[in-house]
A and B are shown apart, each in its own frame.
Chain A
Amino acid sequence: GAVVSQHPSRVICKSGTSVKIECRSLDFQATTMFWYRQFPKQSLMLMATSNEGSKATYEQGVEKDKFLINHASLTLSTLTVTSAHPEDSSFYICSAPTGTNYGYTFGSGTRLTVV
């Protein structure tokens, strides 16, 4: 079935640095990628939608200059958390529509810890 590979699975970074998270569609073309954030004991919150070759669309309240999204190819979308702070520590998950009845497939998530 359709697989989205997400890396890294865990990352610890210092406050003020930037972190890049990659999501690759392995056996299908992902023209759209959704990025979610999940805090402990909470549900997934949609942050933004990226479309190949165009600017990402951000949900209300999400800072586009802080969470840079690039979708340069049909198989790769990246999320860069810039100038990370401890409050950005969270679980980040990407998801792509598969074009089948399965609907959407999800990456395995990235646990970001900012110290």
Chain B
Amino acid sequence: GNSVTQMEGPVTLSEEAFLTINCTYTATGYPSLFWYVQYPGEGLQLLLKATKADDKGSNKGFEATYRKETTSFHLEKGSVQVSDSAVYFCALSEVNTGFQKLVFGTGTRLLVSP
């Protein structure tokens, strides 16, 4: 079945450091790919998405490129801030079911210190 694998956390960085959170997927067909973020005490929020190969999603300085050849959707940010501390979830939508059922990874906690 479809699945998403993302790097285990926590990822601990100092402010202004470069961030990469790896995400790879297994899917039949051509899913859409998403990064969701969960800030402390809040619900899941969409951070960015890409709906086809080679698309780049971007938002709030974060970027991820849909790489079909490596089945990856790694999240990057050039300079993290303390306010980026959160749990990040990579997800795909199963298009073969005719609707957008999301399959999530286990999440990666990011801790940014001043």
Real binding pair = no
| Interface residues in chain A, defined as those with a beta carbon under 8 Å from any beta carbon in chain B | none
